[in-house]
Chain A
Amino acid sequence: MTELLLQALYSGLLQGGAYALIALGLALVFGTMKIINLAHGELVLMAAYVAYAAESALGWHPLAAIVLALPATGLTAAGMHWTVSRIRADREINSLLLTFGFAVVLTNGFLMLWSADVHSTSSAWLQDALVLGPLYSMHSEALSFAISLALLAGLWWWLARSWHGRALRAVAANRDCAMLMGIAPGRTELLSFVLAGALAAFAGVALYCHGVIQPALGGALTVKAFIITVLAGLGSIPGVLAAAILLGICEALTVTLASSALQELTGMVLFLVVLFVLPNGLFGTARRRG
């Protein structure tokens, strides 16, 4: 039994790392522009499909497909930013509706291009087992975990040290003040979107390497990314990692102890529990209401 649990914890940890990468892009855009990109999961899926196309049509190794995925998601993200910045009124609601529309467009685009069949990589090395003592994982899982950590650390450093990174944080904290200090919020917001797209590219390629993909997955990814963003709290990259790992472990435990059909449910329940246990909401001003 303990071996089973240990394996669940380990798998959950690795999966959590991958989730963190998926969630980070969403959290970045939410932090800077205060909007949820409901099409974020589809961006990740886009990169995954690019990897699939590269492998099946061009015979590339899926990891190499990152070269194609980055411009694809980067440009799409830039396009999304452009449309979102066009919204004049009721920004919160309209950005939700707009990105929801994008999600529908992309999901059905994938459906038309690649059908509803599931796909996964055929690369043998990626699927081979990596054994650490009693713990099993696929090479791809461990690799994507390592890549996630590296990118998370890199982003953390960049936000803290580089000029653009700090500009991003400034705009996230107080847009008007940032403008007064000479930071162009529009360009910074574009940067956050493109960065989110880049992260999605890595996340998508990794996803293709260790999982199965199908058009409907986009929505599920967005929901998971949002759940993690909510759990993590605003402005905290270590928080995103911690929340993602928490989700990964909870899912793994649910699958091990209950049933795999309930895996998707875990995140939802976790989300609702956290949301209602913290009555002031996570990002609202902590005002005690009478």
Chain B
Amino acid sequence: MLDLDRLRVCFGGLAALEGVTLSVHEGEILGLIGPNGAGKTTLFNAISGLVRADDGKVRLHGKDITRMPMHQRARSGIGRTFQAPQPLHGLSVRENLVVAQRFGAGELDGARLEAILRMTGLAARAEADAASGLALAELKALEVAKALATNPRLLLLDEVLAGLETAGRQRFITMLQGLHRQFGVAIIIIEHDIAAIRTLCPRIAVLDSGRLIAQGPPDLVLREPAVIACYTGTGGAIHG
């Protein structure tokens, strides 16, 4: 469904992404891991259109979207959350979702909106001011809800679990699994929490210094020496 072909993104002289070739299939959950600064968020930026690739191609359902502007990619089915939540200011939670549906999905669907509110646990906070009235866990849930409201075929989740404590983390993981079952959307999830990755993702990809160094089932990938090396230096193992 999504094909990245030798994607290259440079900032000045620095290659943030180099020769990244990756495919994501309909409905699958792909984990994206790697050390800090590896280029994971940059990859999301390149896929969603926040940043334009210097070389390589991005294809969605076979169509080349490398030059497509960001808002059009959203309408074509790519939804994305930000690492630091960016609720729409001045609007309530419900209004956030209305904007997402109206512009991202193209039309309002009241039933789906209510379903999203319910499943992300925001139904009780629907009229709260999105920018100032929510706790961190709720803000993160809103990020996911907004992205879902655009009717995406692909959802990019950027460290949605960061900052949540253990119980909250568990609840969030359960919520994500429920959403995946309900809406059948493909997900790429960036996470540092290896246990969460193992729980959620049947397939993972590892990014290091802008290059894709491994992909496959978590159990195999996490045992590869190159992957272990980029996290821990030399030797050891990755526990999680």
Contact = CB atoms under 8 A, between A and B. Distances in A.
Interface of A: 287-290
Decide if the interface of chain B is mainly helix, strand, loop or mixed: loop
Decide if the interface of chain A is mainly helix, strand, loop or mixed: loop
B178 to A, nearest CB: 31
A95 to B, nearest CB: 21
- B-side interface size class: under 10
A289 to B, nearest CB: 7
Interface stretch (B47-55, B83-91, B129-137, B205-213): B47-55
Contacts of A290: 48-52, 68-70, 73
A88 B48 CA distance: 36
B132 to A, nearest CB: 15
Nearest to B9: A288
A290 B44 CA distance: 12
B136 to A, nearest CB: 23
A109 to B, nearest CB: 39
Nearest to B46: A290
Contacts of A288: 51-52
Interface string B41-83: 0000000111110000000000000001110010000000000
A288 B73 CA distance: 16
B199 to A, nearest CB: 32
A287 B12 CA distance: 10
Q: Which 8 A-B pairs have the closest CB atoms?
A: A290-B49, A288-B52, A290-B70, A290-B52, A290-B69, A290-B50, A288-B51, A290-B51
7 contacts: A287-B51, A288-B52, A289-B50, A290-B51, A290-B52, A290-B68, A290-B70
- Find the residue from A287, A288, A289 having the highest chain B CB count within 10 A: A288
A285 to B, nearest CB: 10
